[in-house]
Amino acid sequence: MNLISTSLKSIVLISALNLNACTSLLSSATEDFGNNLSSAILNHNDPKTVTAAIPAYLLMQEALIKQQPDNQGLLFSTSTLYGSYAGLIDKDKQRSKALSHKALDFGQQAACLQKQDFCELQQLPFDKFENIIKQSEEDDLKSLYTLGTAWALWIQAHRSDMNAIAQLAQVKAIMQQIVKLDEGYKQGAGHLYLAVLATLLPPALGGQPDIAQQHFQRALELSDNKNLMAKVLYAKHYARMLFDRELHDKLLNQVVKAEAKQDDLTLINIAAKHQAQQLLKSANDYF
């Protein structure tokens, strides 16, 4: 938490100065704070502590955005923070819906600052949407990823609504472009999203397990096998779909035995280890 405390003190000190003379410095400090906060959360080892702490920071981030509505970095980190919290409280459906909407809204605002063409993406028919996404460049990667992950979370939170489910095509297009521009971005996270998307339906209804397996394996390679959630999702979405008990148990046992502490993956790895234990516990009933 030292990085957070240091950044917060910097913001307080700068706020006490002449803001008109220090606008660019304030913008940099608040952006750094948001980035440090996101990093602290990702590297924390206790989901309960993070869940309890995030709401206060969310309010503070929104207050900072009111001061600096064009601070793209702050919008990025706020979208990510809302998404993290919504994911942590997924069982609270109503709150998860509201928070995922916040994540998507801030992600859209950040993307709009990146490119004028990104401002109305949610309202565009798919063919026009896809054309804009395909024209994006490497400089757009952070905007694409923040928007795509927030959109996927929003769909997850509204999964009972077929209009929301229909928007999975937009998320898929975004992730395909991310992989095309830089498949190693965020340790291959684009591959992981595409893998899960390819297993949402059984093969008889259009699911693509072979393509999913390729994406899962590539995601693991690009994360150097450090992203334990990739193995959990591989077991849950691919191995269970094909009733491959051997692969299922192999992946999950690897997760249970693995070291959770990894840069920017600790929190998600701890969640992965918990899910792996639950999946192994239910395996006899499933298979």
pLDDT of residue 48: 81
Cα separation of 194 and 244, whole Å? 20
Nearest to residue 34, comparing CAs of 88, 91, 74? 74
The number of residues making up the chain comes to 287
Nearest to residue 172, comparing CAs of 212, 222, 217? 212
CATH T-level assignment (fold) for domain 1-116+127-170? 1.25.40
pLDDT of residue 11: 32
pLDDT of residue 5: 34
Each residue of 17-60: pLDDT tens digit? 333 333 333 445 555 665 666 677 777 777 788 788 788 888 88
Each residue of 108-145: pLDDT tens digit? 999 999 999 999 898 999 999 999 999 999 999 999 99
Long-range contacts of 196-202 (CB under 8 A, 24+ apart): 196/233, 196/237, 197/168, 197/171, 197/172, 199/237, 199/238, 199/241, 200/168, 202/241
pLDDT of residue 35: 63
pLDDT of residue 13: 35
pLDDT of residue 34: 58
What is Dmax (Cα atoms) for the chain? 66
Q: Where are the domains positioned within the chain?
A: 1-116+127-170, 183-287
pLDDT of residue 134: 97
Note whether 98 and 81 are within 8 A (CB).
Answer: no
| pTM of the predicted protein model | 0.83
Residue-by-residue pLDDT tens, the chain, 287 positions: 333 333 333 333 333 333 333 333 344 555 566 566 667 777 777 778 878 878 888 888 899 899 899 999 889 989 988 888 887 777 778 888 999 999 999 999 999 999 999 998 989 999 999 999 999 999 999 999 999 999 999 998 888 888 988 999 999 999 999 999 999 999 999 999 999 999 988 888 888 999 999 999 999 999 999 999 999 999 999 999 999 999 999 999 999 999 998 887 888 899 899 999 999 999 999 99
pLDDT of residue 7: 34
